[in-house]
Amino acid sequence: MRIANFTAFVLALVIYNVGVSQTGPGGVGTNDGSSNLEFWYMAQGESYANGALVNSVTDHSGNSRTLGAAGAERPTYTSATIGANNLPSFLFALNNELESAYVGNSNENMSFGMAMSYNNDGNLNVALQHGGRNTIGVSSSHIFTDFVGGSNHTSSTTATPTWTYHSKTLANSGANRLKYYMDNTNTDNFTHNIENRTSNTWIGGHGTGGGTGWNGSIAEVYKFSRILNTAEQIIIANYLSAKYSISITSADIYNEDDAGSGNYDYDVAGIGQAIDGSNHTDSRGTGIIRFLNPSNLQNDEFFFWGHDNGVLAAGESTDVPGSVQSRLTRVWRISERNTANTANVNVGRLDMRWDLTGLGAVSASDLRLLIDTDNDGTFADETPIAGATAFGGNVYEFAGVPGGAAGLRNNRRITLGTINSFQTPLPIDLISFTASPIDNKHVKINWQTVSEIQNDFFTVEKSKDGINWEIVEILNGAENSSIIRDYSVIDKNPHLGISYYHLKQTDIDGKHEYTQIISVNIVEKHNIKIFPNPTKNQITIIGNLTLIPDINIYNSLGQNVTALTEQVGNTGQQLVINLSKLNSGIYYIKTETKTTKVYKN
């Protein structure tokens, strides 16, 4: 059984490669350690709770160069960053950093970049320090900068508190060896004497503890130990632009991420050939579709694709051609354009490979490629394309898929269907996972599966801090199922305040996966505060205002004098009661669970 990626905050990196499948950022480089992608870090996919201190970050390059931090140096995890397409990020103060033991080779060529946002408080220095020493001291000019061995160089571009894509290429020879880019536009060129790097890599970058560093958020950062060609730089820029809703200022080709096109923001990847003739002709990225071998790729032609984050299951049985029983709910969309977005681009025929790992039993003869050729948003009126072949390792190929009017083309939608939902169900099981309070006492946890394969049991776990977990309940799974099933658990002892929950699913063979973390806030009923006390004419009550209708006021003789008082202000967060009609003395403010003595002068 495989837990689905069913929210915008979870990225499932499928790491199986066929040949040299390009599974790096935007489909450039690989994530198995075999390419020049030296490190690749992102907040997405990390399992920290919102506001938690970050101890380590996974390296997605395949080189296992984990970032770590301890004590006060740890940055903070932010689960939903406004302005970054509601994706998580790491928030750094000036003395925060994440460190890797990785040291680059001396005199190496390199390309690196990051998606980041600056907190405009008057301090900005190093965002990435790759070896060497830290000598920069800028504090008030808000200049974007980073550090790559030797001495620092700063950009003349002023930082703004918005999400941007920042990248550099660094060659070990040539007149303009260091090129600096903001949002994919070359803004500064430097000469740079590369020195041997004798120290580690820092993200956040105050390095040796000199007090300077990045003051803002970083969502994703990568480094290649070679110069990326122009086509590769354009592809990565469009990938990050779509993912983090960053407005790139040069070669913004992929436009299916726009709201008017349906927000196909997810797992964007691309192939193409730049004006200078450099190209990238094989790409998969972080998704399950790989395009390669374009038959007619020319200068300044690019082909991008991304999806709408629909459920990766064949749950759609209505919008399908007559011979197709069901199709994936998830839909992809294509941008086939040039850098000026003016030409009628046709990169020719393409080989398309689908990695269906985790989607159950598959017979290649059951698969059908669906292309919305009339671009009306429906597939029911289309002619399914057969001919898929098993390529090995759960990968299935449609070879030589035509472009142009008959097939793959700019703005068109694509998806995958099956003509036999029993033999090739294309399942993925978990389609929802929620938690909600019951009467401010208990928490009900619900989840729903659309199918289960070799599923042994579920474990509901909770945490007070998002780090240390305890078992709430264990429920048996259905083992194998092809129908929608509903599950629920009641946590009768949630933590006061915020409780975090996640679901652990365990297969019969012992393998397990976790969902994303969700949270529920249980307000403490006894936490009623009344002030001022003593009072003269009125009191203010704050706390659990669901108890306000049950509040009664008694005098020292036990008589209910609530009718002599008046509620003069109720903001939903606090209540003001006028006591001016009451005589001086002692009064008791009673709620369902608590009595507070108040002195009136």
What single string gives the DSSP state of each residue in 162-231?
A: SEEEEEEEE-SSSTT-EEEEETTEEEEEE--------S-EEES--TTT-S----EEEEEEEEESSPPPHH
Model confidence pLDDT, tens digit, residues 250-268: 999 999 998 889 999 999 9
Model confidence pLDDT, tens digit, residues 151-202: 445 555 666 678 889 888 888 777 667 788 889 998 876 555 544 445 567 7
* 93 or 560, which is more confident: 560
* 398 or 580, which is more confident: 398
The tokens for 509 are 């063979």
How many CA atoms are closer than 13 Å to the CA of 363, on its beta-carbon side? Answer: 10
Work out the percent of the chain whose per-residue pLDDT is above 70: 81
Polymer length in residues for the chain: 601
The tokens for 519 are 């949270």
Average pLDDT over residues 133-158: 46
From residue 450, alpha-carbon distances to 248, 271, 381 in Å are 39, 34, 26
**pLDDT of the residue at 142:** 43
Average pLDDT over residues 4-16: 30
Determine the residue type at 474: I
Model confidence pLDDT, tens digit, residues 227-243: 999 999 999 999 999 99
Please determine, for residue 150, whether its predicted confidence score (pLDDT) is greater than 60: no
**pLDDT of the residue at 131:** 40
Which of 297, 512, 290, 552 lies closest to 403, judged by CA? 297
Please determine, for residue 572, whether its predicted confidence score (pLDDT) is greater than 80: no
In contact, 469 and 461? CB cutoff 8 Å: yes
The tokens for 119 are 């907190």
Q: Which domains occur in the chain, in start order?
A: 29-227 (2.60.120), 259-427 (2.60.220), 430-522 (2.60.40.10), 529-600 (2.60.40)
In contact, 379 and 320? CB cutoff 8 Å: yes
Residue 600, SS3 per DSSP: strand
The tokens for 343 are 């030409």
* 143 or 579, which is more confident: 579
Model confidence pLDDT, tens digit, residues 431-475: 788 998 887 788 999 998 877 777 889 999 999 887 889 999 999
Model confidence pLDDT, tens digit, residues 392-426: 999 999 999 999 888 999 999 999 999 987 788 77
CA–CA dist 313, 317 (Å, integer): 11
**What is the average pLDDT value for the chain, to the nearest integer?**
82
CA–CA dist 44, 46 (Å, integer): 6
**pLDDT of the residue at 148:** 47
Determine the residue type at 137: G
**pLDDT of the residue at 146:** 53
Determine the residue type at 174: G
Q: Quick one: three-class SS letters along 431-482? A: EEEEEEEECCCEEEEEEEECCEEEEEEEEEEEECCCCCCEEEEEEEEEEEEC
Backbone φ, ψ for residue 337 (5° rounding): -150, 175
**pLDDT of the residue at 7:** 29
**pLDDT of the residue at 540:** 84
**pLDDT of the residue at 480:** 76
Backbone φ, ψ for residue 495 (5° rounding): -70, 145
Model confidence pLDDT, tens digit, residues 308-355: 998 788 878 889 999 999 999 899 999 999 999 987 899 999 999 999
From residue 400, alpha-carbon distances to 346, 388, 406 in Å are 14, 11, 12
**pLDDT of the residue at 358:** 78
The tokens for 429 are 């099981």
**pLDDT of the residue at 129:** 54
Which of 288, 245, 246 lies closest to 267, judged by CA? 288
Please determine, for residue 381, whether its predicted confidence score (pLDDT) is greater than 60: yes
**pLDDT of the residue at 18:** 38
- Going by the DSSP 8-state scheme, the letter that residue 549 receives in this structure is G
Which of 434, 444, 592 lies closest to 524, judged by CA? 592
The tokens for 91 are 């928030």
